Amino acid sequence: MVTLRGIVLREFPVGENDKFIHIFTKEQGVIEVSVRGGQKMLSKNAGATQLYAYSDFSMRCDRGRYYLDSSEPVRLFYKIRENLEALSLAQYISEVVIYVTGQHEQKSDVMRLLLNTLHFLSEGTRSCGFLKAVFEMRFMTEIGMMPDIVCCASCMSYIADEMYFDLMSTKLYCRGCIVPTDDDTLVKIPASVVHALRHIVFADFDRLFNFKLSDINMKKLGRITERYLLIHLGREFKTLDFYRTLGI
């Protein structure tokens, strides 16, 4: 028997009384767990195995497959499912985490980032656009794709509101040092957006979600973090396409 603490990121019903759940754990990345045993088993574990529940799972492992024995909820982010925008953002975040982390031990703090993001999504005290941008850039940082946004990567200067961020090379350049490219991965970046990016990359978790930006700069930040993630993960996400259709 093995007990792991983790977050339910996906669930797949099997018949009326059974289901599979995908759990993100610190020890083993994402694992698939079978919740079988009929209505009694399902009702006993209903809270702890629901989507976005953070729970302790006691399981038996048989030939590489996990079967749930019992579970105990630690924290339930149930309000996420009451809001379509929050739910669709949580689905996108889940797809990204499942795609990137695989079945490996998590040495970085993706778990803490995920828990913090789900907390604010559930409480509704930060906008989805804000949470999406913070998650995207901090997630990339946690998995080793931290952008170099201190000063111009070429001449080390920093001139407020005159800097450009190269999404491809992940570096900042001043106007004098930019090299025109054929693609549009070079974006002019206002000073307040540079400051926000630095905060997301460097801040401790207890301060991570504590900053403000004007609406227009929040949109600029969101465009940058989304493109940064998509470029460096090298794919699209269906859940992101759906989130975008909400047009919020």
Binding residues vs Zn ion (CB under 5 A): 152, 154-155, 174, 177
The DSSP string of 6-46 is: EEEEEEEEETTTEEEEEEEETTTEEEEEEE-SHHHHHHHTT
CA–CA separation, 167 and 18 (whole Å): 44
Beta bridge partners of 11: 21
Show the tokens assigned to 122. 């559930």
| Of residues 172 and 196, the one with the C-beta less far from Zn ion | 172
| Of residues 84 and 155, the one with the C-beta less far from Zn ion | 155
Instruction: Answer whether 31's CB lies under 8 Å from 103's CB.
Output: yes
Question: How far apart are CB 153 and Zn ion at their closest, in Å?
Answer: 8
Question: How far apart are CB 162 and Zn ion at their closest, in Å?
Answer: 10
Q: Where are the alpha helices (DSSP H) in the chain?
A: 38-44, 84-101, 110-123, 128-142, 191-202, 215-233, 238-245
Which amino acid makes up residue 142? E
| Of residues 19 and 171, the one with the C-beta less far from Zn ion | 171
| Of residues 98 and 178, the one with the C-beta less far from Zn ion | 178
| Of residues 157 and 185, the one with the C-beta less far from Zn ion | 157
Question: How far apart are CB 164 and Zn ion at their closest, in Å?
Answer: 9
| Of residues 144 and 180, the one with the C-beta less far from Zn ion | 180
Question: How far apart are CB 166 and Zn ion at their closest, in Å?
Answer: 12
User: Which stretch of DSSP H or E encloses residue 164?
Assistant: strand 163-166
Question: How far apart are CB 173 and Zn ion at their closest, in Å?
Answer: 6
Question: How far apart are CB 165 and Zn ion at their closest, in Å?
Answer: 13
Q: DSSP 3-state assignment of 223?
A: helix
- What single DSSP character describes residue 148? B
Which amino acid makes up residue 223? R
